[in-house]
Amino acid sequence: MRNRILPSFILGAAMTFGAIPAARAQVTHLSVAPKQMVKINYFGFWDGTTFTAQWSDYQFGVLSGDGTKSFVVPKGKTLILTDIEVTIRCQSAVASAPSIQLGAYIADPAGNAVSILNRFVPTRQTVGYEMQRTPMTAGYAIPEGYQIVVDPIDPAVGVPTHYFRRVNFLGYYAE
């Protein structure tokens, strides 16, 4: 009996601490290789008169974009979005919850809007930041050459009380 237990224990330990972590490292919970995962980061700043925006993308934790003012899905790839996380800045106190909407949408290669990803309605009435998250469980496919566009401020407002400070688009590239 003792001779059977020890080899079984060693085999079980080897599988638990050796083979299984190696298998886990090869795909994510989405059955996607980690090297395909991407975080596209939009960062905005309002200085009181001008809005400045910058984009960057991180594939497997490594910066791969050039920090331009727009994001275009690379040639030969399809971007599958799984989540959007936004940080909204309230830069001045307001009497009631604002009725503005800040949005993110998809544009075709010519720049024409083709699909709204989401509209975010700020709820904060005091100076500071709020975060909102939109999961896209099934994923949202964006083909090569298409753009992700962010409306950082509500154009009807003039000087904004709220704007997008940061938007993270999370997902992976399908090739």
Which whole number is the average pLDDT over 136-163? 79
Q: Are 80 and 67 found together in one domain?
A: yes
Higher-confidence position of 115 and 3: 115
pLDDT of residue 109: 92
Q: What is the pLDDT of residues 24-49, one digit of tens each?
A: 457 766 678 877 888 888 888 777 77
pTM of the model: 0.74
Reported as half-sphere exposure (CB side, CA atoms, 13 A), residue 57 has a value of 22
Q: Are 11 and 51 found together in one domain?
A: no
Q: Are 1 and 76 found together in one domain?
A: no
- Indicate the number of domains in the chain: 2
Q: Are 8 and 81 found together in one domain?
A: no
Tokens found for residue 162:
């709220």
The CATH number of the domain where 60 resides is what?
2.60.120
Query: What value does the mean pLDDT of the chain take?
Result: 76
Q: Which of 18-22, 60-64, 95-99, 153-157 is least confident?
A: 18-22
Q: Are 4 and 48 found together in one domain?
A: no
Whether residue 138 is predicted with pLDDT greater than 70 in this model: the reply is yes
Residue among 175, 171, 174 nearest 37 (CA): 171
Q: Are 49 and 101 found together in one domain?
A: yes
Which residue stretches of 15-148 are H helix? Answer: 20-26
Q: Are 60 and 22 found together in one domain?
A: no
The pLDDT > 70 percentage for the chain reads 71
Q: Are 36 and 24 found together in one domain?
A: no
Which whole number is the average pLDDT over 149-165? 72
Q: Are 117 and 158 found together in one domain?
A: yes
Q: Are 23 and 72 found together in one domain?
A: no
Q: Are 4 and 72 found together in one domain?
A: no
Which whole number is the average pLDDT over 2-18? 47
Q: Are 68 and 45 found together in one domain?
A: yes
Which whole number is the average pLDDT over 68-95? 84
Range of the domain at 156: 32-174
Q: Which of 58-72, 75-89, 111-125, 157-171 is least confident?
A: 58-72
* CA dist list (Å): 106 to 92, 146, 150: 30, 7, 9
Please state, in angstroms and rounded to a whole number, the distance separating the CA atoms of residues 42 and 167: 5
pLDDT of residue 6: 45
